Amino acid sequence: MKLMSKNALEKLKKVKLFVLDIDGTFSLSGNLLPGSISFAEKTKKLNKNFVFLTNNSNKSTESYLKEFSKNGLSITENQIFTAGIETAEYLFDKFGPKKVFIVGNNEIKNIFKKVGHTIVETSEPEVVIVTFDNTLNYEKLAKASSYVSKGKLFVLTNPDLNCPSSIGPIPDTGAIASVITKATGKKPDIVFGKPDPLILEMIMKKNNVVKEETCVIGDRLYTDILLGKRAGVLTILVLTGEAKESDITNIKPDIIAKDIGEISQHIR
């Protein structure tokens, strides 16, 4: 483990809540990465907590619970926060129930329905939601571009350009949305997810911790680490996903670890 800031290990000792990315940090394509179980066991042993915060919006909390359970990890629903759920709830709280056209799969559509929005496929929406979509086709992009060009609210669940997978990086929400932006000349009106610190501040409040007791762990500099920096908490970059140590320039983590298991060796 490499320390990048002064007193990083001393700060790590004070941490009560670890906020973890999932894909590329804790698991990859549904399979746990080395050290994930040992990290979970170590934090439990020391009476410290961890929650997941992911920009992946195409899965429900139920899907994650099943996936983790299959891999031998038992967690609760209140340990999982996704950009998709937060986007749906924010829009409902701010604007009320809306007619939304979603570039996304059925799970994210069900999330928006559950919150109280109406999903439209053929009639004109009030809001266009773009998220990760492994069912993406030209028709969806064409419809979304048409609606955005007419001035409908253009919302991204997260800004990620790619998503780590077992076959390498694949296009994520930011990349999909860039096609619509190129076609219409219009940028998104609202972008959710990391690195916006609002969602992290909400998680800290729900877990009754302050900045000095919180640590963000992730594999991406411009989302995970930048989130932690903007929120003023300890940050740890793991090298099991997108970022390499050579990528570090302006956004510097406090600690670099080869994987999440290495971190567990230093938690006190």
What is the CATH code of the structural domain delimited by 84-191? Answer: 3.40.50.1000
State pLDDT tens for residues 238-258: 999 989 999 999 999 999 999
> What are residue 217's phi and psi, to 5 degrees?
-120, 130
Residue 9: per-residue pLDDT: 93
Report strand pairing: 214-218 vs 234-238: parallel
> What are residue 77's phi and psi, to 5 degrees?
-60, -35
The residues of the chain scoring below 50 in pLDDT are none
Residue 199: per-residue pLDDT: 83
Residue 193 to residue 85: CA distance in whole angstroms: 10
Residue 250: per-residue pLDDT: 94
Question: What are residue 235's DSSP bridge partners?
Answer: 216
Residue 198: per-residue pLDDT: 82
Residue 196: per-residue pLDDT: 87
CATH topology of domain 2-55+194-264: Rossmann fold (3.40.50)
State pLDDT tens for residues 172-229: 999 999 999 999 999 999 998 899 898 898 899 989 999 999 999 999 999 999 999 9
> Which residues in the chain are classed under CATH 3.40.50.1000?
2-55+194-264, 84-191
Q: Is 88 helix (H, G, I), strand (E, B) or coil?
A: helix
Question: What are residue 170's DSSP bridge partners?
Answer: 163
| In contact, 5 and 233? CB cutoff 8 Å | no
